[in-house]
Structure 1
Amino acid sequence: MKRKFTVALLATAVMAAAAACGGGSESGTEAGGKTKIVFSYWGSDSRQKLTEQVIAKFEEKNPTIDVEGDFSDWGSYYEKLATKVAAGDAPDVMTIEIRGLAEYAGRGALADLTGKVNTADLDQQVLAAGQVDGKQYAIPSGVNTFAAMVNKATVEKQGQQLPDDKAWTWDQFIETSKAITEKSGGSVWGTDYNFNPAFLQVFAAQRGEKFYDNGKIGMSADTLKAWWGIHQKLIETKAAPDAAKMAEIGTNVEQALLATNTGAYGIWWSNQLGALSKGSGQELDLLRLPKLEGAPSGGMFLQPAMHWSMSAKSEHTAEAQKFVDFLLNDADAGGILLSDRGLPTNAKVLEAIKSKLTPTDQKTLDFIESVKSELSPTVVPPKGAMEMEDILKRNSEEVLFGKTTPDAAAAKFLQEANAALAG
């Protein structure tokens, strides 16, 4: 993604100079005195419908402002955004993922929102996850955490006991998952697994290491190999499907083992509990991730689902600020979006919409509250972090498909990852 941004920047340098006044070619003042701003975001059809509703509510309360939604699917969002930013045609309000925050802030694409949007009622620790070099370039929309999930009925049906998630270890996780697969005769897998950097970040913290440290990879090769070792053991014991099956499922929630009732455990973001439960049609629950024996901490952390940010070149900053403030602080906005962008970080908004949350969202809220004191502070990844998921996935699959050794893959990952961070 960093490369795409750079290519777009070079390819449109002349356009960017010509459009230096910024603000986005589609934003401006319409006939009748209305000001139009552009808001970019990614997601599913259901998110698009919710966003259209929240835009309509904002326009109802602010009749002199029109908000044009610039919607993309996840796969094309950042490529499209990078091109627009490089051409001086950035949306006035942009949705940014934490991995892209330092990248876009560092290129001068984002406005400093310090003191420009009311953040008094937001979780101040979470708010810090929108800061780069002491400036508030983005504001978290909501929060979630990377956690284990379980279908209790499936676990019990296969003769296994539910774990004490305050004490269970990775070895116990593998053993119970193996037993579930065996007892079911292979009709149900014990668990899934994935190569999400958040998973590795948790595991590294359990070994007393940081994923990122001073703009570089802070993990050792031994930690990478130990992490891959868990995946290998899950496959070897048939506690989980092989690499080919998991590659087929990928990050598709609809095809996940939990969603299709072909797995007892899974490892996902907490705000995906609703989609997984809907697919399953059964009750699913959240658990703390297992720990290494004697780990200094559980390693789990609270992370913004995404951020609201503004273009540094917007010609309509007052209107853009009003829209961001509405998304963050208005109970009507919260009542429409609910947990779509993570559970609100505004305490007053959260209190106002609690009764509207689904039972699944209530469960997610209760879980986050129960583990909040154990969670590590959120760390904003350095520039280049947007490439990390692809680099990690590629090297992980080479190990699990038997194309290379863990030693060679660890060395390759560290070299590629540090090169991406170096720019």
Structure 2
Amino acid sequence: MSRRGFHRMLGGAAVATTVSLALAACGSGAPATNADGQVEIRFSWWGSDTRVKVTTAAIAAFEKENPSIKVKAEYGDWSGYWDKLATQTAGNDAPDVLQMDEKYISEYSSRGALLDLSKQTVDTTNLVADVLKAGESSDGLTGIPAGINAATIIANPKVFKDAGVELPDDKTWTWEDYKRIAAEVTAKSKDGAFGSTAYSGDQASLCVWLRQRDKEFYTPEGGLGFVPEDMGGWLAFLLELMEAKSIPPASQVIEEQASPLDQSSTATGKAAMSFWWSNQLPALESAAGSELVILNYPTLTGKAADAKLWYKASQFWSASSRSKNSEAAAKLIDFLANSTAAGEALLGDRGVPVSTVVRAEVAPKMKPADVRVIEFIDGIKDQLGPVPPGVPQGGGAMEDIIKRYASEVLFKRQTPAEAAGKAVEEMTAAIAN
């Protein structure tokens, strides 16, 4: 899966077109069964080889408890997944159960392509309420969160040590501290490592930047919650970071954005700090071959409570509204969300378990890196900002727009103010369309 797993996306307009075509087809027909008389459902997701392994183990546990249901696995990488799903939905051939992302859940939900799980036998009693809200809309509960994430900075202590620089105190550091510390690592590194990677490919960093200034990326009504001047400040600081050599030059930034996780600067020791989601720590640590550290975001005030982070649904479990076996599909989703057996198979691959019961039961069986993710998630509970408004239709285009205009600034083809103005204009159009 590519850098951060979220960098290549299918445009919202394409999803809208193909999903709307699917609505011409209707009716569920007779339940689908195989030659053995079992109800057969298809389950599709994107992800790495590790995700395939743990999800296959969860499927096996489900089939053992539900011998009358057979689950057929379908999986692929991020970009191919969305192309395939759009085509399948348009052809009335969507998987019964599918992994869904917040960027596209409203696109599919609003066109009636996803099942309202509130009307199915899915128990939400022990699921973290604030995270569960991310799958709710006027179309119902169309996604059950697969895990909890938070935006983080992941640090490589070895790079700090080799440069003779102390790890930052993430309970007190500011954005200016972050810039200074990163520049110091770059200057003192004997191996040519940089103090940090750029946040230019990371929509989460812009969200945090806005929230620390009492803004949100989206409004509750589905519009943009900020103006060009807000994004201009974020881009201007990005340029400051490059000029201070806190981050690499523009060409290396672009190269880094295209790198797979195991070849990222975090994994290869070419950067002391990078912006990631919390659940990516175990894979990064495995690739790096040494222990990594999760850091809270810098703040304007130097107080960790002002980081304004939030619990994010890593992905969702959704079901096709056209499923011929909606009962079996809902049963699988309930199992994935609430079963200890599923939790023991999946562990922290999709983030911290959303069920507090499952989390407590599987934590002792997790790897040290997964446990540290849980400790971080639990540790910021009292410091969270308000739950962000949901991603509206067209939201899938945002990260690509952000990356393009950040690149314009880093290559100095546009000023931060110019780039922010054009970016906001494109974002507004994406939502409107």
Give the TM-score normalised by structure 2: 0.92
Amino acid at match of 1:299: K
CA distance in 2: counterparts of 1:98 and 1:66, whole angstroms: 28
CA distance in 2: counterparts of 1:79 and 1:161, whole angstroms: 45
The Cα offsets for residues 343-373 of structure 1, whole Å up to 9 and x where unpaired, read as 1111111111111111011111111111121
Deviation of the 1:7 alpha carbon? 3.8
Q: Name 2:416's counterpart in structure 1.
A: 406
- Aligned to 2:348, what secondary structure does the other structure show? coil
Aligned runs of 1:246-395 on 2, under 5 Å?
Answer: 246-250=253-257, 252-293=260-301, 297-376=306-385, 377-395=387-405
CA distance in 1: counterparts of 2:350 and 2:302, whole angstroms: 35
The Cα offsets for residues 184-233 of structure 1, whole Å up to 9 and x where unpaired, read as 24622111123211110000111111111121111121221111122111
Change in 2 beyond 3 A, CA 1:125/1:134:
farther
Retained in 2: the 8 A contact 1:202–1:300?
Answer: yes
- Aligned to 2:152, what secondary structure does the other structure show? strand
1:232 and 2:242 equivalent? no
Amino acid at match of 1:420: A
Amino acid at match of 1:192: T
1:8 and 2:18 equivalent? yes
Aligned runs of 1:18-417 on 2, under 5 Å?
Answer: 19-22=25-28, 28-116=32-120, 117-133=122-138, 135-185=140-190, 187-194=192-199, 195-213=201-219, 214-250=221-257, 252-293=260-301, 297-376=306-385, 377-417=387-427
- Aligned to 1:70, what secondary structure does the other structure show? strand
Deviation of the 1:292 alpha carbon? 2.1
CA distance in 1: counterparts of 2:151 and 2:324, whole angstroms: 38
Retained in 1: the 8 A contact 2:116–2:139?
Answer: no
Amino acid at match of 1:259: A
Amino acid at match of 1:359: P
Deviation of the 1:66 alpha carbon? 0.8
- Aligned to 1:189, what secondary structure does the other structure show? coil
- Aligned to 1:363, what secondary structure does the other structure show? helix
Amino acid at match of 2:281: L
Deviation of the 1:6 alpha carbon? 3.3
Amino acid at match of 2:373: T
Give the TM-score normalised by structure 1: 0.94
**5+ residue gaps, structure 2:** 1-10
Retained in 2: the 8 A contact 1:22–1:90?
Answer: no
CA distance in 2: counterparts of 1:299 and 1:219, whole angstroms: 16
- Aligned to 1:263, what secondary structure does the other structure show? coil
Higher mean C-alpha displacement, 134-143 vs 100-109: 134-143
The Cα offsets for residues 10-37 of structure 1, whole Å up to 9 and x where unpaired, read as 7x56xx64x42248x9x81122321111
CA distance in 2: counterparts of 1:120 and 1:261, whole angstroms: 43
CA distance in 1: counterparts of 2:376 and 2:202, whole angstroms: 21
Retained in 1: the 8 A contact 2:172–2:302?
Answer: no
- Aligned to 1:147, what secondary structure does the other structure show? strand
Amino acid at match of 1:121: N
- Aligned to 2:342, what secondary structure does the other structure show? helix
**5+ residue gaps, structure 1:** none
- Aligned to 1:69, what secondary structure does the other structure show? strand
